[in-house]
Amino acid sequence: MKLLRRRPKLPAALRPALHPEERVLAWAYVGEPGGPVAVATNQGLWLPDRPRLGWHEIHKAAWSGRELRITPAEVAEQRDGYTVLEDGPVVTCLLLEPGELPDQVRARVTRSVAYTSHHALAPGGVRVVGRRVSGVDGLSWSVRYDSGTPVDAEPVIQLTDELVGVAQEATAPPP
């Protein structure tokens, strides 16, 4: 019979300032054991020297087997009913003993996406995304333009408004 080795509890001295409803799901040392930690909670991801990223604030998460690469979303513009996002600087964490952290990150980021669709524009394209935000009813709507898309052009803004509206209607609960 194989015994499962349970990861030790996160030391209190390394615990981030969690919100009252927040609980730790997984954690790992970044670099050598005894150093800073990355912590996944039900509400987001705590990385060393950063405020918590909500799961809905992570554009991409990639796991190489040793490195966790997080691409956070940054607000480029707030529009009526949705936010225009762009990729923030990638954060790379070397995890020598990752435990369940990469799996939790992947699962939570994926679970936060309730709706996604990509639309070709001339030129470029736009991805419309509706995401679940911990503690908030309904979906949070955002768009992310492909490189080379004229994001400030009035026809692009107008079409984006329409695409977001269609997505919101398609996901609205029945009356």
pLDDT in tens, 150-170: 999 999 999 999 999 999 999
- pLDDT reported for residue 9: 84
- pLDDT reported for residue 3: 52
Q: Token digits for 34? A: 């005894």
pLDDT category of residue 7 using cuts at 50, 70 and 90 = low
- pLDDT reported for residue 157: 97
For residue 98, say if its preceding peptide bond is cis, omega within 30 degrees of 0.
no
3-state secondary structure of 45: strand
pLDDT category of residue 57 using cuts at 50, 70 and 90 = very high
**Does the pLDDT at position 70 exceed 60?**
yes
CA–CA dist 51, 148 (Å, integer)? 31
Instruction: Please tell me the pTM assigned to this model.
Output: 0.88
pLDDT in tens, 125-153: 999 999 999 888 899 999 999 999 999 99
Mean pLDDT (the chain, rounded): 93
- pLDDT reported for residue 32: 87
Mean of pLDDT values over 62-74 = 97
Cβ-proximal residues to 77 (8 Å cutoff; 6+ apart), any chain: 83, 84, 151
